[in-house]
Amino acid sequence: MNFSADAARNGDSIFRKHPNILIYCMRITLLICFVATVSLQVVASSGAKGQGMENVNVSIKLENEDLISAIKKIESSTPFRFLYRTSDVKNIDNLTYNAGTTSVQNLVKSLLAGSQLTFKQIDDRILITRATEKVAKDVPVAKFQIITGTVFDAKTKDRIPGATVAIKNGQAKVLTDERGNFRINAAIDDVLLISYIGYETQEITVTKPVLEVRLQESAQSLKGVVVTGIFSQNKSTFTGAARTFNAQELSKVSNNNVLSALKSLDPSFQLPENLNMGSNPNVLPDVVLRGGNTLVDISQATVSNPFNYQPAPNSPLFILDGFETTLQRINDLDMNRIASVTILKDAGATAIYGSRGANGVIVIEMIRPVDGQLRVSYNANMSVEAPDLSGYDLLNAREKFELEDRSRTFYDSFNFRQDQLDYYRQSRLLAVQQGVNTDWISKPVRMGIGQKHNLYVEGGADAVSYGLNMTYDQKTGVMKSSDRNTTTANSFLSYRLKNFQFRNDLTLTFNKANNSPYGSFTQYTRLNPYWSPYKADGSLKVYLEEVTDPFSGLR
């Protein structure tokens, strides 16, 4: 055979003489290329075909994501590809997974738990389909399922967004959405831990696929919240001067009166002593929070006296459950029903309440009923009030007479007056010599024993809560025959209709007050100890001192 250029030009070619050889060569070349291509595909897919789903490990993290996003993360980390219908998987969302490294098979099982979907590996493909009734009979029901629920505030019935829901001793954890709803993969009898800042952590055993959780406010959370009566604000962002006390702190110092408790807890809250009234239970105390005020009461400008001040110009503003109330109502308030007290001291109170808050504001929140089974509580306490007379260092009868005698009380320059004074001196000296020494300040006082009884019934379910309260408070003053009896009845009803919440609060108060018929205590401190309240026959005197002229017999 000639393979020269001349042979090619002259047409002397092997392919011209033997055309079948060219066809055979082309077929062999095509076959070799096909075999090489198939071999490359086999080599490329041998990593997936040669391994099952249970042998390939993957580590991903899911935070409230849907199934499609989870599948994409698995595909990006493994050689597997998923085949599915979008209509079958689009409704599976709120998936959370953070269990570390696991096999693809276990991961897919966990993601599809509780759904009507099943999966199957075909080479490097994972096929997700709906399970037929026959498959459902052969395959056991998965342990995990989608648990849904809503987290509420037990007091206000408001939904709590951002609360943490986790499986106890597990890795799954989710957060509630803006409406307080959550979805989590859990099994029946698993224990869920629900927590949120300012609330007590609650443990709930999963008994059904739909749950309703009510979190109780933590007692310590009141330390970080300022209640102004109009809104509640975090203490770290509240710029005014304020102090908040919960029910436990109030009951530690006084179980009788909220004003007395605040006086002991906050030095800025002052109750100036009223020496004229003493411990009269029917007299309201003076309350001073921001110092004295000497401004004229302009609301009484028509009065001719320009210095006609209002009865309590220094008294702060009292807010009870969001509404302004009187000092008398606060003084008669039942301590067992108080949840918290907030004292607003500075100009921040004026910014909220205007000129009415110029003397400060006392904001009181009452306890609300708690949902659940019917609960009945009863409280009773007794109080003892005893007069403390140790601070009165008064003269006795002989000391008082000698003081008057040395100060020339019984001497006068006019003769007719001197005769009268001599009679007085002789009568008083005779009483002292006879041993008359009356302790007048002990005569109108006694030991007062008071009592208080409180009966409270509360309950509710779902969207309705109720509470009934009855209180009887008897205060016995140290002045004889002085007392104050207060009977209070209260009913509270709260119900929620869709997104609206209604509250009905009715309070009835009955007071019966008795002042002492023996006058004021100040009068007894001014009586002379050589006077006796009794006659020689033991009867009461009409006049404490009767001086008779021995010659005329006249007084």
Q: What is the pLDDT of residues 49-67, one digit of tens each?
A: 446 778 788 888 888 888 8
In sequence order, which ranges of 18-161 are alpha helices (DSSP H)? 19-49, 67-77, 86-89, 104-112, 133-138
| Distance, CA of 181 to CA of 150 (rounded, Å) | 4
| pLDDT tens string 351-377 | 788 877 788 888 888 887 776 678 888
- State the number of CA atoms in the 13 A half-sphere of 154 facing the CB: 19
Residue type, 511: N
Phi, psi of 213 (to 5 degrees): -115, 135
* Token pair recorded at residue 25: 């060569």
Reported for 131-134, long-range contacts at CB under 8 A and 24+ positions apart, including other chains, are none
In Å, how far are 20, 159, 417, 443, 532 from 539, measured between CA atoms? Answer: 160, 75, 31, 16, 11
Cα 105 to the center of its chain, rounded Å? 47
SS3 for 407-464, per residue?
CCCCCCCCHHHHHHHHHHHHHHHHHHHCCCCCCHHHCCECCEEEEEEEEEEEEEECCE
| Distance, CA of 110 to CA of 320 (rounded, Å) | 53
Write down the pLDDT at residue 142: 43
The CA-CA-CA angle for residues 268, 271, 272, to 5°, reads 110
Bridge partners of 290? none
Bridge partners of 338? 366
| Distance, CA of 48 to CA of 40 (rounded, Å) | 14
Question: Of 488, 490, 521, which is closest to residue 331 (Cα–Cα)?
Answer: 488
Q: Could you tell me if 456 and 376 are in contact, meaning their C-beta atoms sit under 8 angstroms apart?
A: yes
* Token pair recorded at residue 445: 């006082």
Write down the pLDDT at residue 3: 43
pTM of this structure? 0.51
Question: Of 283, 198, 186, which is closest to residue 521 (Cα–Cα)?
Answer: 283
* Token pair recorded at residue 544: 């404490």
Write down the pLDDT at residue 453: 92
Question: Of 333, 337, 321, 340, which is closest to residue 377 (Cα–Cα)?
Answer: 337
| Distance, CA of 438 to CA of 530 (rounded, Å) | 6
Phi, psi of 304 (to 5 degrees): -65, -30
Write down the pLDDT at residue 49: 47
- Packed helices 67-77 and 104-112: angle between N→C axes, nearest 10 degrees: 180
Residues of the chain with pLDDT below 50 are 1-11, 40-50, 133-142, 236-237, 296, 300-309
Pick the CATH number of 53-138 from 3.55.50.30, 3.40.50.300, 3.40.50.2300, 3.10.180.10: 3.55.50.30
* Beta carbons within 8 Å of 538's beta carbon, 6+ residues apart: none
Cα 173 to the center of its chain, rounded Å? 26
Q: Are strands 57-58 and 338-344 parallel, antiparallel or unpaired?
A: unpaired
* Token pair recorded at residue 439: 């302790």
Question: Of 142, 122, 123, 143, which is closest to residue 131 (Cα–Cα)?
Answer: 142
* Beta carbons within 8 Å of 222's beta carbon, 6+ residues apart: 244, 246, 340
* Beta carbons within 8 Å of 377's beta carbon, 6+ residues apart: 454, 455, 456, 457, 458
* Token pair recorded at residue 547: 């001086």
DSSP 196-230: -TTB--EEEE--SSEEEEEEPBPGGGGGGEEE-SS
SS3 for 297-329, per residue?
CHHHCCCCCCCCCCCCCCCCEEEECCEEECHHH
* Beta carbons within 8 Å of 80's beta carbon, 6+ residues apart: 48, 53, 56, 74, 104, 121, 124, 125, 126
Q: Are strands 144-153 and 210-215 parallel, antiparallel or unpaired?
A: parallel
Write down the pLDDT at residue 307: 45
Q: Could you tell me if 309 and 286 are in contact, meaning their C-beta atoms sit under 8 angstroms apart?
A: no
Write down the pLDDT at residue 14: 54
In Å, how far are 133, 134, 201 from 138, measured between CA atoms? Answer: 9, 7, 41
Question: Of 335, 319, 135, 370, which is closest to residue 246 (Cα–Cα)?
Answer: 335
| pLDDT tens string 370-393 | 766 788 889 888 888 888 888 888
| Distance, CA of 263 to CA of 25 (rounded, Å) | 111
Pick the CATH number of 144-217 from 2.60.40.1120, 3.40.30.10, 2.30.30.100, 3.30.1370.60: 2.60.40.1120
Length of the chain: 555
Topology of the domain comprising 221-366: Ferric Hydroxamate Uptake Protein; Chain A, domain 1 (2.170.130)
Question: Of 146, 69, 63, which is closest to residue 97 (Cα–Cα)?
Answer: 63
Write down the pLDDT at residue 276: 62
Q: Could you tell me if 437 and 529 are in contact, meaning their C-beta atoms sit under 8 angstroms apart?
A: yes
